[in-house]
Structures are given as structure tokens and as C-alpha cells.
Amino acid sequence: MIPGLALLAASCALCGAGLLYLASPNQQWRKSHLVGRWPIPAGIALIVTSLLLLWQFAGWASTVFIAMTLLMLAWSIPPLAIAWVQNRRDNVE
């Protein structure tokens, strides 16, 4: 049960981070950022859900550390990879 719960918590955190990234006007994945009122509250709700799921099998400090590590990875590696791929694509054309 715990591996499934951990996978669900990680998925919620990564999806929430992705929604918050796509709602940013500075994102580079899409031509325009997600508009409307739903992306930011939905992203925050997914991150809070992730915290609550992680709290089921880890202490509160460990839960915050795990979630912050997941969010840090989600907000640093994919944007750099996207920018690198787009830069290579622009240089080829």
C-alpha cells in the first residue's frame, strides 16, 4: 500500500507543479500560458493533496522535505530541458 500511496503523492505533486508552471506567463512549453482562474488553485490543491498523502506514511518534516524536493526538481529540470530543446530546434532551422 505504501509504494502505491507514495507514487500517487508524487504524481499529485508533479502534476500540481506542472499546472503552476503552465500558468506562469514565462513558461516556454506552450505558445501561451494557461488562462483562467482554475490552473493556480488546481495546482495548489494537488500539492496540498500530495502533502496529505505523504503525511500518511512519513513524519511532517519528512513530508515537507519530500514534497519540496519533488517540486524543486519539477520546477528546475523540465524548464531547462524545454529551453535547451527549443534552442537546438531554433538553431537547426
Per 3-state DSSP, the chain is made up of helix, strand and coil in percentages (nearest 5) of 75, 0, 25
Boundaries of domain holding 56: 2-92
- Assigned C-alpha cell, 73: 526538481
Instruction: Write out pLDDT tens, residues 58-70.
Output: 899 999 999 999 9
What is the pTM assigned to this prediction?
0.84
Q: What pLDDT score does 32 carry?
A: 77
pLDDT band at 93 (very low <50, low <70, confident <90, very high): low
Domain total of the chain: 1
